[in-house]
Structure 1
């Protein structure tokens, strides 16, 4: 299977730069995964496609303001850091720009010394391990100094940081938002529950691997970055019960999908668990838990369009994308949504 099999032509003006004022007012393309049939709706209409007894799985990770702009101690050269993974004892794996200025031993200060970091090692793909020192609570300092790590195709910072968080974001740790969840409002979630749909929370801390392009021609040679996930017993039980009773499991976003598919046992059941996953889902994959998916429109040749193609078939997905381009849907993180059922 080749990377170019997942290419489609996307006009740049369809890349959404800002979120809509009303989260649930975005558009919703509904794709029938068996027939390829397409219907056009507004996102809040998603409730009409959910049935009592179904289980909606949401990823309650919270994006941290992981982008820090600092200066090299001694030369005052500007250095930008992106926090990727928290290790032990205030050590983080980071992406540093420019990397050549960040050899081991380099010290960087942020916010006039409120936070100081020292590069202690170089790890895979040139990422740096940085040991931070500070007085107080790290999360509070980060909140004060950090910026939201928006995807590379968003060209400006947000006025309101919270628009890059889902309304149910709870557990801090992501370098990117699980963007399919950005369409939900508290009111819509309440209506969904009133209809008799169970809502199960899982956590997967989204890494920047989400935006990492597939560079190999043969997609099976692509390696995913690992991301931390967690499922509590009560939430696993909700998902298992829906399956056992013949109802559907509808994942909100590719991250929720990858969490439940990573955690499923050989018996097709979920249990309380946590760990790291580098699962890569592409056509030919047999889903163990997921029945339907709510997702945004993804980049050409990305691992995400490969995942949705595994669910609905490449032809159906590319046909739906072609229709979305024709109908001028908004693409990527702040764009419109798609329900594959």
Structure 2
């Protein structure tokens, strides 16, 4: 398939710059994939589409304040670092800007000197491997000095860091939020459980590669970035029991979807495991676990719109996106949501 098959025209004013006051008050476009029927609802209405015995799967990864601003020791030259992947206790793979000043061996200082780093080596992707020096607990220092690494299409500074976290975020490690989950409130999750719907948790640490464009025309030639995932025995059992009883598994977000499809075997069972996944889901893929998907509206020609097209059919998705633009739905991380049934 050609990457241009997933293009749509998106007016810039539809890109949401900040979250709504109430998480569950976003709009919800419901797409019935069998007949292409579309409904327009409010996100909290999602509970009406869930039945007793169904299971929703949430990604409990928590975003770290991964953007750091420092100065080069000796010259005072300014440098921006974005932490992408923890290699071990104090070494990280990072993006740097401006890259020309980040030479191997150079040292940088953050804040009042409570955090320092040394550039160790270059990466194939144009980033740097760095090693931090500090006294105390790294996570506490990062929370004090770091900023949320908001996507490049969000121009406004976020006033409340927690609005770029899901209410159930727990395991720190993401460089970007699993944004489909931002619509859930603790009350809505409680109401869903009261209805007899199971809630399962997986972890996938979202990397900034999720925003990288597809640069090849034939999408089958695209190579996905890898991300760390984990699913434990308790949650694997919840999902397997749901499938065994003939009930539906709703993945909340493309990250949960990719985790479930990575962790399933050929018989359609989830195995408890952890590791790195670079699974690329596009039309033609046969889903083993996921029956329905709760997701946001994605960028044109992105791997994310390709994934949702794999589940619902490309024609259904492109029609739904055309309607979403006409109806002025809000797009991307802080935008509205879609339920694919």
TM-score, with normalisation over the residues of structure 1?
Answer: 0.99
Match of 1:275 in 2: 275
Once residues 211 and 76 of structure 2 are traced to their aligned partners in structure 1, the CA distance between those partners, rounded to angstroms, is: 30
How far residue 74 of structure 1 moved from its aligned partner, in angstroms, is 1.2
Aligned residue for 2:216, secondary structure, equals coil
Q: Which structure 1 segments of 5+ residues have no match? A: none
Runs of 4+ in 1 over 3 A off after TM superposition: none
Match of 1:14 in 2: 14
How far residue 156 of structure 1 moved from its aligned partner, in angstroms, is 2.0
How far residue 135 of structure 1 moved from its aligned partner, in angstroms, is 0.4
Once residues 148 and 324 of structure 1 are traced to their aligned partners in structure 2, the CA distance between those partners, rounded to angstroms, is: 28
Matched, 1:42 2:42: yes
Q: Could you give the per-residue CA deviations for residues 120-171 of structure 1, whole angstroms, max 9, x where no partner exists?
A: 0111211100000000000000000000000000002200000000000000
Match of 1:114 in 2: 114
Number of residue pairs matched by the alignment: 341
Match of 1:180 in 2: 180
Once residues 262 and 295 of structure 2 are traced to their aligned partners in structure 1, the CA distance between those partners, rounded to angstroms, is: 18
1:161-180 map, 5 Å:
161-180=161-180
Match of 2:92 in 1: 92
Once residues 219 and 316 of structure 1 are traced to their aligned partners in structure 2, the CA distance between those partners, rounded to angstroms, is: 19
Query: Contact 2:18/2:156 (CA < 8 Å) preserved in 1?
Result: no
Match of 1:155 in 2: 155
1:223-302 map, 5 Å:
223-302=223-302
Once residues 247 and 49 of structure 1 are traced to their aligned partners in structure 2, the CA distance between those partners, rounded to angstroms, is: 13
Once residues 119 and 272 of structure 1 are traced to their aligned partners in structure 2, the CA distance between those partners, rounded to angstroms, is: 37
1:301-316 map, 5 Å:
301-316=301-316
Once residues 334 and 172 of structure 1 are traced to their aligned partners in structure 2, the CA distance between those partners, rounded to angstroms, is: 20
Once residues 278 and 21 of structure 2 are traced to their aligned partners in structure 1, the CA distance between those partners, rounded to angstroms, is: 34
Match of 2:101 in 1: 101
TM-score, with normalisation over the residues of structure 2?
Answer: 0.99
Match of 2:215 in 1: 215
Once residues 220 and 107 of structure 2 are traced to their aligned partners in structure 1, the CA distance between those partners, rounded to angstroms, is: 40
Once residues 267 and 109 of structure 2 are traced to their aligned partners in structure 1, the CA distance between those partners, rounded to angstroms, is: 51
Match of 2:145 in 1: 145
User: RMSD over aligned Cα, in angstroms?
Assistant: 0.5
Once residues 219 and 107 of structure 2 are traced to their aligned partners in structure 1, the CA distance between those partners, rounded to angstroms, is: 39
Match of 1:72 in 2: 72
Once residues 92 and 142 of structure 1 are traced to their aligned partners in structure 2, the CA distance between those partners, rounded to angstroms, is: 13
Match of 2:198 in 1: 198
Aligned residue for 1:241, secondary structure, equals helix
